[in-house]
Structure 1
Amino acid sequence: MKQSSIIFFERKFPSANMILIKDQLPILIDTGFGSEAKETVQIIREAGVSPEELHLIVNTHYHSDHVGGNFHFQNNYGVNIAAHKWEAELINNGDPEACSAEWLDQPVEPYRVDRKLSDNDQIETGNRTLQVLRTPGHTLGHISLYEPEEKILICGDLFHRDDIGWLNIFREGVASIQRSMESLEQLSKLRISQAYSGHGPQIENPQAAIEAARKRFEKWLGNPEKVSWHACKRIFSFTLILKDGLAKEEINNYLLNCGWFQDFARYSFQIQPKEFIQVLIDEMIRSDAAKWHDNYLVARASYQAPDKEWMNKNIKPKDWNFKIL
């Protein structure tokens, strides 16, 4: 009988963190960004699990940094994928809104969801049982996973050790703050000794992190503009990571063609998109989210630049060639 262990991998952008449940039925939670799929395979191989052995991939939610490796695992190794049923239906129907990829301008290669999850479902790994907890806010179908024996929580992008997941009020709804707070309230009732989130280091004091997240969301209720600034800076930072920086002369045209930029400018800040460009750049610099380097605006976050050849394929759900009812 294989020894059971939970292995956490903290990864640089553009990939999200991953968790490998090494057991009789190995489970991989989230698969990183698509351009790093071969690196993802190597990471789990070095942990002692070959991709052919994987019983299941579970996605906490469908953003590109969490599901990007799905295509590689599914097409090369036949690994089944599980996700919340609401996001699964968008994925399996090739809906243009799937993964919010079009709106965010983030490429995602096609995959299908084989197992549709609901709240309180259980995922067996052999010696462990993971409880599925629906924790919406960051996305409507966001889930967390709880392992009761070791009291381990895998919380995706609901909250991090020193931050919270950005909220997409235009795709997930203006009640995203309240949903996030309800999700945190649900998790606060659990006995948690260790938590792993989608970004940043492991969370050694989960209750303190949950309380800090709750207080921040509470402040946002009275100042919705903060929700939009938080989202804009994180989306644009991720863009700068994917592009490995944007030349000064490219920025205007690029932003004006982005759905997220148009929506935040017009509806969150009530400013014409052309006028919002410099406002956003100034805030990126002021908040230390970005800097100028040789006439390029680059992200300050630590990252590994994606392969340009992979990025140039620019695949979005509207390009996917299948539809599963």
Structure 2
Amino acid sequence: MPVLRPAPRTPTPSPDATRAAVSRNTSTSRSPRTPSTNRSTTGRCSGSATPTGRWSAPRATHPATWRCGSPEERLLVVGDALSDYDVGWVDSALDGPDAARTALQSLHRLTDLRPRVLLPAHGPIPADTDGALASARRRGQRHVDDPDGAVRYGARRIFAFALMIRGGIPADEVEPYLHARAWLTDAARLLCLTPEALATELVETMIRGGAVVARNNRLHAAAEHIPVTPGTLQVPFPRKWSALRARAVPDRT
């Protein structure tokens, strides 16, 4: 789950990974995502609607699996919980203010398993298992200690992947694109900013930090990545697959 600083090792998302990112992060709604009904909306900012108070339990969005065929194996499939260069992003707009702390507790529990090998969903297998876990705990602790910084980190991360997925975005379309994103509206609400102010800050800090570059009047993610086939964006989301299959089956009655 601060000014953007490029990670020492940058991820190279696969087409499947980037397709998953499209599903999660490119909603076109301008409205904030609706929190569950047991969430209070008394904000910590004057006049804001920042969700605080009682939240639903954080979702297990970054599961890990312990695989131990023998005492010597100690293989831990960590999925998105951590990688050799990052930790799983926690969406505090949906999962609540305690989600980052819950994620950090999970990282400590994974460490307590004393794995020999970590198998992340992205990037290389860490050569130094203990070092990767220690780095993940430090990052997780920063998210707990600096909630606003964690929100900004998540926004930068989503925007960088959006640029990768779309092969860049025309410079004059970037801010309208961001204004229409539900995740940006959520982040702005948590930071007590307008979506327009956060969009401007996001673009400026990422360009200044070197995470975004301008080429041919388009903004691109600077991190090395595998281009996504344009037709991938036209593939229906999984929630529509059952309806499509039903229409594809001929009526034999």
Relative distance call for 1:33 and 1:277 in structure 2 (3 A) is closer
2:81/2:88 contact within 8 Å kept = yes
Other structure's SS at 1:284 match: helix
User: What are the equivalent positions in structure 2 for 1:61-100 lying under 5 Å apart?
Assistant: 64-65=20-21
- Asked if 1:280 corresponds to 2:202, the answer is yes
Other structure's SS at 1:165 match: coil
CA distance in 1, matches of 2:145, 2:108: 19
Q: Which residue of 1 aligns with 2:94?
A: 171
CA distance in 2, matches of 1:293, 1:260: 26
Segments of structure 1 that go 5 or more residues without pairing to the other structure are 1-10, 16-30, 35-63, 69-98, 108-135
CA RMSD after TM alignment: 2.6
Q: Which residue of 2 aligns with 1:151?
A: 74
Other structure's SS at 1:170 match: helix
CA distance in 2, matches of 1:166, 1:302: 20
CA distance in 1, matches of 2:199, 2:61: 31
CA distance in 2, matches of 1:13, 1:106: 20
Count of equivalent residues: 203
CA distance in 2, matches of 1:181, 1:322: 39
Following superposition, the deviation at residue 241 of structure 1 comes to 0.7
Q: Which residue of 2 aligns with 1:239?
A: 162
Other structure's SS at 1:153 match: strand
CA offsets per residue over residues 174-206 of structure 1, 9 Å max, x none? 222111112112111213111121222211222
CA distance in 2, matches of 1:172, 1:291: 32
CA distance in 1, matches of 2:151, 2:76: 28
1:14/1:238 contact within 8 Å kept = no
Q: Relative contact order (C-alpha < 8 Å, sep 6+): which is higher?
A: 2
Normalising to structure 2: TM-score of the pair? 0.71
Q: Which residue of 2 aligns with 1:204?
A: 127
2:212/2:220 contact within 8 Å kept = yes
Relative distance call for 1:12 and 1:106 in structure 2 (3 A) is farther
- Asked if 1:223 corresponds to 2:146, the answer is yes
Q: Which residue of 1 aligns with 2:236?
A: 315
Q: Which residue of 2 aligns with 1:268?
A: 190
Other structure's SS at 2:101 match: helix
Segments of structure 2 that go 5 or more residues without pairing to the other structure are 1-10, 29-56, 245-253
CA distance in 1, matches of 2:240, 2:100: 32
CA offsets per residue over residues 82-120 of structure 1, 9 Å max, x none? xxxxxxxxxxxxxxxxx6x3xx1179xxxxxxxxxxxxx
Relative distance call for 1:225 and 1:193 in structure 2 (3 A) is same
Aligned identity (percent) is 23
CA offsets per residue over residues 276-298 of structure 1, 9 Å max, x none? 22211011112222111111110
Other structure's SS at 1:238 match: helix
CA distance in 2, matches of 1:272, 1:32: 30
Relative distance call for 1:292 and 1:231 in structure 2 (3 A) is same
Normalising to structure 1: TM-score of the pair? 0.56
Q: Which has the higher strand share?
A: 1
Relative distance call for 1:224 and 1:190 in structure 2 (3 A) is same
User: What are the equivalent positions in structure 2 for 1:81-120 lying under 5 Å apart?
Assistant: 101=24, 104-105=25-26
CA distance in 2, matches of 1:14, 1:254: 24
CA distance in 2, matches of 1:176, 1:206: 24
CA distance in 2, matches of 1:156, 1:293: 34
- Asked if 1:257 corresponds to 2:180, the answer is yes
CA distance in 2, matches of 1:179, 1:322: 36
Amino acid across the alignment from 2:62: H
Amino acid across the alignment from 2:63: I
CA distance in 1, matches of 2:213, 2:18: 24
CA distance in 2, matches of 1:14, 1:283: 26
